[in-house]
Amino acid sequence: MLGIEIELLTGRYAATAHNDRGRAEWPPHPARFFSALVAALHDREEVNQDERAALLWLEQQSAPSLWVDPESRVGRRQVQDVYVPVNDVSLGGDETIRKAEAKLDEAKSPATKCKAEAALEKAKRKAFAVDVQPSDKALKTATALLPERRTRQVRTFPVVIPETSTFAFLWQDADATKHRGALEQLCARVTRLGHSSSLVRCNVVDRDLTPTLVPSDDGDVVLRVVGSGQLDRLEQAFQYHQGVQSRVLPARPQCYGSSSERAMASPRAESVFSGDWVVFERVGGVRPISSRSTDLARALRGALLEQHGETGLPATLSGHGGSGPTEQHHVAFLALPFVGHEHADGALMGCALVLPRDIPTRDRETLLRLVAKWEMERSDQRGNLTLAGGTLPSFIIRRVELSAKAALDPTRWCRASTRFITATPIALDKNPGNLRSNQDGTAKKAALEAEQSISDACLRIVGARPSSVEISLAPLLPGAQHVRDFLPWPGRPGRTPRVRVHADIRFAAPAKGPLLLGAGRYFGLGLCLPVEGR
């Protein structure tokens, strides 16, 4: 087992939550601690290769457990907006100096190095030279830099004060014998975690600690963790932002739950679809609502297939076998709407590729190669991609590993629950009859047929029938759209449109999502939100 203990030397932890600037992060995220170790790795001019190898080994380990104060015992400082003078880097020539230093680092030959050193000295002399007769413009600029004259931007400084100032990350199945010395060296040089005022002491420990939070697909706490390639991603990101420009910590979300709750957990029904999602966030273009889900899903599928063509793709990706549509579960193309919140408006916040749970490794790699090829060939300089197709205007997206938008968080859709409500209506597999009939008993009989069809669909997707199903033509979630707002499905010439309904689905025991039901489940219809306890 590997355990790394961290003590908050000031008794406080200052770090802003990645998805809420007005709230402090607690418990500390494993990805943030890994970044602190990477910063310690590069705090010397020459990187220690043993330390680097230790971090490459650590990123390959499974998500750690945590020994940490539970939320109920944490004190949070009330967050107030603070208006802080903006720092200025234009007057001192910092940018010119940084560029000269970068050229010096890249210099290979002695002549090139000598020339770069001369350029650096010149930049420094120019940056710090005193102008005895400054111009009116220079005086105005200099005066504006005085603290009382600078423009101010709003800042928040959320802080957590835990009852116990010590916590630990635990890799219980890891054998760190080979890398222990290097990890101890790195931990000794970690001085802060989160904000610069959050001073810490870190060390590798041998004593047994009982975790209070453990990785659990059914947990309600979502933390950012790392995976293979994290060190390379952080180093590449630094080459771009240089510690100056704004940046987003590369990470992947992981659900955590109480260790005691996990011990008592009983086996649950599980969806044939996995929590392995490739998520794209909307960054521009039109802002359609959820009734355009199928348009967006088809545009996403078309954009990926044009990189390869449908011929020759495995059935788990294309959805088609040699003789037509396959019965095998395959990749679903989803549009993700903002629903289930009191201020939800049903806008599509992005889209995702949802992989089946049993997808072969080779097929998964093929899909990721298609995504990478699409990004390289079609993205602009900012990494944005444009989706358009049919009646869908330009919808600009960018692939993200972790989004601050709740609608784009896979764990929100994948968690276990005994109750699910449709975010987009279900296209029934069979025609139940006339749900709007005024004749005695006709509408009731049709409703029973619709409920039975949904029950059958649940059995196929999660392996369990619901204890109850209630259907509706009107939306049942805030932000969801009425069934009449959606285009007919499948909307192809010569194909009879499917009857669509919203549903409130309840199970006797928790079932693990994502729950995608009905004939349009691979194209954004039948997407259900777990709502237990909300």
Q: For 284-294, what is each residue's pLDDT tens digit?
A: 888 899 999 99
Q: List the one residue out of 279, 277, 343 whose CA is nearest residue 513.
A: 277
Q: What is the dihedral of CA 114, 115, 120, 123, to 10 degrees?
A: 150
Evaluate whether 401 touches 515 at the Cβ level (below 8 Å). no
For residue 355, the enclosing domain spans 288-408
Evaluate whether 68 touches 27 at the Cβ level (below 8 Å). yes
Say if 110 falls within a structural domain.
yes
Do residue 448 and residue 522 come from a single domain? Answer: yes
For residue 435, give every residue at least 6 positions away whose Cβ sits within 8 Å of its Cβ, in sequence order, or none. 443, 446, 447, 450, 471, 473, 499, 501
Say if 87 falls within a structural domain.
no
Ordered alpha helix ranges (H), 151-229: 180-189
What's the rounded Cα separation, in Å, for the pair 414 and 454?
Answer: 19
Q: Please tell me the predicted confidence (pLDDT) of residue 411.
A: 86
Q: How far is CA 212 from CA 1, 5, 68, 167, in A?
A: 16, 14, 6, 10
Say if 488 falls within a structural domain.
yes
Q: Which of 408, 429, 450 is the last residue of a domain?
A: 408
Do residue 254 and residue 292 come from a single domain? Answer: no
Say if 84 falls within a structural domain.
no
Could you give the 3-state DSSP secondary structure of residue 34? helix
Q: Angle at Cα 154 formed by Cα 150 and Cα 156, nearest 5°? A: 130
Evaluate whether 352 touches 276 at the Cβ level (below 8 Å). no
Could you give the 3-state DSSP secondary structure of residue 474? coil
User: What DSSP string describes 377-398?
Assistant: HH--TTS-EEEEETTEEEEEEE
Say if 341 falls within a structural domain.
yes
Do residue 36 and residue 178 come from a single domain? Answer: yes
Q: Please tell me the predicted confidence (pLDDT) of residue 138.
A: 72
Do residue 107 and residue 128 come from a single domain? Answer: yes
Domain count, the chain: 4
Do residue 192 and residue 237 come from a single domain? Answer: yes
User: What DSSP string describes 229-240?
Assistant: THHHHHHHHHHH
Do residue 362 and residue 465 come from a single domain? Answer: no
Q: What is the dihedral of CA 520, 524, 527, 529, to 10 degrees?
A: 180
Residue 462, domain CATH: 2.60.40
What's the rounded Cα separation, in Å, for the pair 280 and 350?
Answer: 5
How do strand 500-512 and strand 269-270 relate by DSSP bridges? parallel
Q: Which two tokens stand for residue 356?
A: 């089946």
CA 375 to chain centre: 18
Q: Which two tokens stand for residue 459?
A: 């059995």
Do residue 322 and residue 304 come from a single domain? Answer: yes
Say if 86 falls within a structural domain.
no
Q: What are phi and psi of 62, to 5 degrees?
A: -70, 165
What's the rounded Cα separation, in Å, for the pair 352 and 278?
Answer: 5
Evaluate whether 198 touches 8 at the Cβ level (below 8 Å). yes
Say if 280 falls within a structural domain.
no
Which pLDDT tens digit goes with each residue over 386-435?
887 666 678 899 998 878 788 998 988 998 889 999 999 999 999 999 99
Ordered alpha helix ranges (H), 251-292: 259-264
Q: Which of 155, 187, 206 is the last residue of a domain?
A: 155
Do residue 189 and residue 257 come from a single domain? Answer: yes
On average, the pLDDT of the chain sits at 85
Q: What is the DSSP letter of 71?
A: G
Evaluate whether 483 touches 502 at the Cβ level (below 8 Å). yes
Q: Please tell me the predicted confidence (pLDDT) of residue 310.
A: 60
What's the rounded Cα separation, in Å, for the pair 450 and 435?
Answer: 9
- Angle between helix 180-189 and helix 30-41 axes, rounded to 10 deg: 90
Residue 57, domain CATH: 3.30.70
Do residue 358 and residue 438 come from a single domain? Answer: no
Number of C-beta neighbours around residue 487 at 10 A: 14
Q: List the one residue out of 526, 511, 517, 494 whose CA is nearest residue 418.
A: 511
Q: What residue ranges of the chain have pLDDT lower than 70?
A: 70-95, 127-132, 144-145, 147-156, 241-247, 260-267, 307-312, 321-324, 389-392, 532-534
What's the rounded Cα separation, in Å, for the pair 107 and 355?
Answer: 46
Do residue 335 and residue 252 come from a single domain? Answer: no
- Angle between helix 230-241 and helix 49-59 axes, rounded to 10 deg: 120
CA 507 to chain centre: 28
For residue 304, give every residue at least 6 positions away whose Cβ sits within 8 Å of its Cβ, in sequence order, or none. 353, 367, 370, 371, 374
Say if 278 falls within a structural domain.
no
Q: Which of 115, 130, 155 is the last residue of a domain?
A: 155
Q: Could you tell me the sign of the dihedral formed by the alpha carbons of 269, 273, 276, 277, in that order?
A: negative
Do residue 420 and residue 404 come from a single domain? Answer: no
What's the rounded Cα separation, in Å, for the pair 435 and 495?
Answer: 20
Do residue 253 and residue 170 come from a single domain? Answer: yes
Q: Please tell me the predicted confidence (pLDDT) of residue 282.
A: 92
Q: Please tell me the predicted confidence (pLDDT) of residue 121.
A: 84
Q: What proportions of the chain, in percent to the nearest 5, are helix, strand and coil?
A: 30, 25, 40
